[in-house]
Structure 1
Amino acid sequence: MSVWDSIVGQDRVVEQLKAVAGGDPSAITQSWLICGPPGSGRSNVARAFAAALESPDHGMSDEPTAVTRQILAGTHPDLTLLATDKVTIGIDEVRDIIATAEQTPVTAPWRVILIEDVDRMLERTTNVLLKEIEEPSAHTIWLLCAPSPQDVLPTIRSRTRIVNLAVPTQAAVSRFLQERDGVAPSLAQRAARLSEGHIGIARMYARDDQVMSDRDELVVGVLTLARASDAVLLAGRLIDSANAQAAADVERLAAVQEADFRRINGLGEKDRIPPKLRGAYHAIGKKDELRRRTTRRSRDVLDRALNSVASVYRDVAVLQNDAEDAVGLINLENRTAITELSARMSREQAVRRLERIAVARRRLAGNGNPTLVFEALFCSLVF
């Protein structure tokens, strides 16, 4: 399987990047901005492109080379990955990565610097990066990822080659789940539909019955909001669910990191950690770090919940505009309740509710108290 086979619904971009990776190295653009909405796979595209640039087979062999496997795992010495769970990427992190970018590649043709979520940089931090993007070292390629070009400062946009990704179709996501993860067709189709083209969320729905069940309960809760007390109770259940999901995700991640630490250092599952490694080992499970990760994951769950709530009023608008045959419904399981709501609610009222969801998203992104944000939102949705 070639490195590109894991990319879903981006045929045009894949052909473009294949041609670049297999072309004249002296003609390659050295600074790239890969843009796509959440779930479009921009980070996966960036890693596949990095593998194609670094591997002797340009990522085209059916059997991945050792270089390709290392790049995709993030362990190749000439790949430097900067990702963060924080709200912003710090200026010291960027200065460190710039120092790395100046170094000559160890084994591969290029030193590749991949920065996920470059939109999380403040302007001062971006200015530190600017000169390197404008005049990269001779053997360095920068791959920056962001939701859209507009999320990045114009000074960065103007100095990079922009690649825009599309939202994968439901059919493409469903096919991916069936072929790559062995998901049953009916479940794959439902997970793809409910994820609205977000590959990561589709895989989550297909793998985790509880996450799917939580979404179902949220949609039913929104459709049955009749009084302020319903809104408060629904907000409380949502926050509890988000915190539980986040804690479980972080616990799993910490376990994986601990296992990787042991493997890298040649330690068995039951072996004692040598004194000289204990500091690094215990840093994986530091309370402050786990708390920060849990908060970040909880916000991700709540952001996903906002998408689910918005999908209800999106479906209402679809029915009100007789567009079901053209674009379909997301919440097919709730079609009867949504049809009834679309008959009782005016088009203006449906649009206003979508606007209120957008306000809640901005408040949440601005570190608003999640409980208060969702209580206010759900109270405004009562009909």
Structure 2
Amino acid sequence: MSVWDAIVGQKPVVEQLKAIACGNPKAIAQSWLICGPPGSGRSNLAKAFAAALESPDHGMGDEPTRVTAQVLAGTHPDVIALDTDKVTIGIDQVRDLIGVSEQMPSTAPWRIIIIEDVDRMLERTTNVLLKEIEEPAERTIWMLCAPGAQDVLPTIRSRTRIVNLAVPSDRQVAAFLMNQVNPGLPAKDRFDEHVAARAARLAEGHIGVAKLYATDERVMSDRDDLVVGVLGLERASQAVLLAGDLLDKAKGQAEASAKEASERAQAEFRRVNGLGPDDRIPPKLRGAYNALAKKDDIKRTATRKTRDVLDRALNTVASVYRDVSVVQNNAEDAVGFVNLENRKAITELSVRLTRQQAVARLEEIAQARRRLMGNGNPLLVFEALFCALIPD
């Protein structure tokens, strides 16, 4: 299986990067900015490109090489990927990466550093990175990922080769779910084509969210409840109750996800160190193993994941008023309908609202997103939002 098989809906970009990976190493740009909307697969593309650059077969073999498998699993010594469970990427993290970037690769042709969500860097942190991006070490490649080129400083933008990703179509995302995700699940957890198609439609091009909807019935059910709750808003008391219910469910989802991530990390630790599920952890490994299950770390991860759930909730609410606008403008044939299961209620709401009121509600949602990003109290933010959505 090629390293590119898991990249969804980006054929022109994939073909371009394949040619570069197989071409003259001296002609390869050493600073990249990979741009695409959330869920378009920009970090996955960066890892696939890194695997193609490091692997002897350039990622084109029918079976993954050991190098390819290590890069994609995040265990290759010469490929480092920085993500963050915080709101911003810290200056100390970047300084550490710069120190590593100056070292020659240990086993592969390149030392590759991937920074996910580079748009989360504060300006002073970006300035620390600037010189390295402008003049990388001889055998170092930087791959920065961001929603768009406009989300990073012009000084960074001008010193990188920019790759722009498209939003995958529903059909492409559904095919990915059926062909790439489903086969890796236990038989009892596999989903059918109808679930895949619905998950792709509701995710609106976000590959990670589509996978979540297809594989987690709780997440899909919570989304359904939120849409019904928004469409049923009539009084402020309902808005307050809906906001409280949303926050409770978001915390529940986030805590469960953080716990599962910790358990996966522990299982992988055991596998890498040749230990079975019930084997005792040797004393020399116990500290590293216990660090994977620290309550403070799990709590911090849950806090970050709560933000992700709430951001996803805002996208869900926005999809309702997006569909209202589609009905009002008779545009379903051109742009499609997201919440097909709620068509009747959305059509009724489209009659109660003017076009200007529908747009104003989308602006209220954007304002709520800005308040959350500014560390506003989530409960108060959603109470205010849901009150603003009540039809006049």
Deviation, 1:258, is: 1.4
Whether 1:246 and 2:233 are equivalent positions in the alignment is no
Amino acid across the alignment from 2:209:
I
Matches within 5 A, 1:49-60: 49-60=49-60
Name which of 371, 377, 383 aligns with 2:385.
377
Once the two structures are superposed, what CA deviation does each residue of 1:333-361 show, in whole Å capped at 9, x if it has no partner?
00001111111110000000000000000
Partner of 1:261: 269
Residue 234 of structure 2 is matched in structure 1 by 226
One of 239, 264, 279 as aligned partner of 1:271: 279
For residue 281 of structure 1, what is the aligned residue in structure 2? 289
1:352 to 350, 360, 382: 360
Alignment partner, residue 172 of structure 1: 172
Aligned to 1:189: 197
Q: Which amino acid aligns with 1:356?
A: E
1:262 deviates by 2.3
- In the TM superposition, 1:1-383 aligns within 5 A as 1-182=1-182, 183-383=191-391
Gaps of 5+ in 1: none
Q: CA shift at 1:121, angstroms?
A: 1.0
Deviations 1:79-119 (A, max 9, x none): 11111111111111111111111111111111111111111
| C-alpha distance in structure 2 between counterparts of 1:71 and 1:239, whole Å | 37
Give the distance between the partners of 1:25 and 1:282, measured in 2 at CA.
42
Structure 1 length-normalised TM: 0.98
SS at match of 2:280: coil
Q: Deviations over 1:253-305 (max 9, x none)?
A: 01111122223333332233333333322222222222211111011001000
Superimposed CA distance per residue, residues 289-333 of structure 1 (whole angstroms, 9 cap, x where no aligned partner)? 222111110110010000000000000000101101111110000
SS in 2 for 1:141: strand
The one-letter code sitting in structure 1 at the alignment partner of 2:285 is L
CA distance in 1, matches of 2:328, 2:152: 36
Task: Supply the RMSD in Å over aligned alpha carbons.
Answer: 1.0
Structure 2 residue runs of 5 or longer lacking an equivalent are 183-190
Give the Cα separation in 1 of the matches to 2:266 and 2:171: 37
* Residues 169-221 of structure 1: per-residue CA shift (max 9 Å, x gap): 11110111121233422111111100001011111111111111110110000
SS of residue in 2 equivalent to 1:163:
strand
Q: Tell me how far apart the structure 1 counterparts of residues 7 and 279 of structure 2 sit (CA, whole Å).
A: 39
CA distance in 2, matches of 1:61, 1:266: 28
| Distance of 2:284 and 2:108 partners within structure 1 | 32
Q: Distance between the aligned counterparts of 2:335 and 2:138, measured in 1? A: 48
Amino acid paired to 2:301: R
Distance in structure 2 (CA, Å) of the matches to 1:257 and 1:62: 28
Q: What's the CA shift string for 1:94-153, capped at 9, x where partnerless?
A: 111111111111111111111111111111111111111100111111111111111111
TM normalised by structure 2 equals 0.96
Counterpart CA distance in 2 for 1:282 and 1:108 is 31
What SS does the corresponding residue of 1:6 show, helix, strand or coil? Answer: coil
Secondary structure of the 2:4 match is helix
Instruction: Specify the SS of the correspondent of 2:23.
Output: coil
Aligned length: 383
Distance 1:151 1:50 in 2: 23
Query: For residue 186 of structure 2, what is the aligned residue in structure 1?
Result: none
**Cα separation, 1, equivalents of 2:31 and 2:351:** 51
- Structure 2 distance, partners of 1:291, 1:13, is 38
Structure 1 CA distance for aligned equivalents of residues 90 and 52 of structure 2: 29
Secondary structure at the aligned position of 2:162 is classed as strand
The residue type paired with residue 272 of structure 2 is: I
Cα offset, 1:19, TM superposition: 1.0
